[in-house]
Amino acid sequence: MMACHRSPESPLFVSEIFPVKCRSNLWLIPLVGFAVFFQSTASSSGQEILGEPRAERAIAVEIDEAAADVAAEKKPAAAETPADKPENKEEPEIDIPRAPVKEVPPRQVRLHLLDGSILTGDLSVEEITVETTFGKLVVPINKIRSFTPGLDSYPEQIKKIETLVEQLGGDDYQSREAAHKELSAMGIGVQNEIVRFVASDNAEIKRHIGEILKEIEEQAEESEDLDEGGEGAAQPWIRLDTVVTTDFTVTGKVSPQNFELASKYGPLKVSLADVKRGERDSGLKESFRRSLSVPGENLAQRTFKSTGIRVQAGDKISIKADGTIVMSPWGTNSMSTPDGGPNYGWYIPNQIPGGCLVAKIGDKGTVFKVGRSLNFTAKSSGLLQLAVGMQGDYAGEGYQFPGEYRVKLRVDPK
Model-wide pTM > 0.95? no
**15-74 residue pLDDT tens:** 444 444 334 444 444 444 444 444 444 444 444 433 444 444 444 445 455 444 444 443
Packed helices 173-185 and 203-225: angle between N→C axes, nearest 10 degrees: 30
User: CB neighbours of 125 closer than 8 A, spacing ≥ 6?
Assistant: 107, 141, 256, 259
Output the pLDDT for position 403.
97
What are the boundaries of each domain within the chain?
14-74, 86-97+286-412, 108-150+240-279, 155-225
Per-residue confidence band for 94, with pLDDT thresholds at 50, 70 and 90: confident
Per-chain mean pLDDT for the chain: 81
Specify the higher pLDDT residue, 293 or 7.
293
Instruction: Single out the residue of 287, 305, 286, 282 nearest to residue 295, CA to CA.
Output: 305
Mean pLDDT of 85-111: 75
Output the pLDDT for position 65.
53
Output the pLDDT for position 275.
94
Report the range out of 1-5, 31-35, 184-188 with the highest average pLDDT. Answer: 184-188
State which amino acid sits at residue 17.
Answer: I
Is residue 173's pLDDT more than 90?
Answer: yes
User: CB neighbours of 175 closer than 8 A, spacing ≥ 6?
Assistant: 167
Does domain 155-225 sit in CATH 3.40.50? no
Output the pLDDT for position 326.
97
Mean pLDDT of 396-405: 93
Output the pLDDT for position 364.
93
Instruction: Single out the residue of 296, 312, 281 nearest to residue 108, CA to CA.
Output: 281
**76-86 residue pLDDT tens:** 333 344 444 55
Per-residue confidence band for 95, with pLDDT thresholds at 50, 70 and 90: confident
Output the pLDDT for position 84.
45
Output the pLDDT for position 52.
42
Does domain 86-97+286-412 sit in CATH 3.30.470.20? no
Output the pLDDT for position 89.
67
Mean pLDDT of 163-174: 96
Is residue 361's pLDDT more than 90?
Answer: yes
Cβ atoms < 10 Å from Cβ of 241: 24
Is residue 370's pLDDT more than 50?
Answer: yes
Per-residue confidence band for 99, with pLDDT thresholds at 50, 70 and 90: low
Is residue 372's pLDDT more than 80?
Answer: yes
Alpha helices in 240-388 (DSSP H): none
Output the pLDDT for position 154.
93
Specify the higher pLDDT residue, 7 or 347.
347
SS3 content of the chain, % helix, strand, coil (to 5): 30, 30, 40
Specify the higher pLDDT residue, 18 or 222.
222
Specify the higher pLDDT residue, 39 or 333.
333
**240-277 residue pLDDT tens:** 999 999 899 999 999 999 999 998 888 999 999 999 99
Q: What dihedral do alpha carbons 305, 310, 315, 320 form, nearest 10°?
A: -30
Per-residue confidence band for 101, with pLDDT thresholds at 50, 70 and 90: low
The CB-side HSE value for 131 (13 A sphere, CA atoms) comes to 5
**305-317 residue pLDDT tens:** 999 999 999 999 9
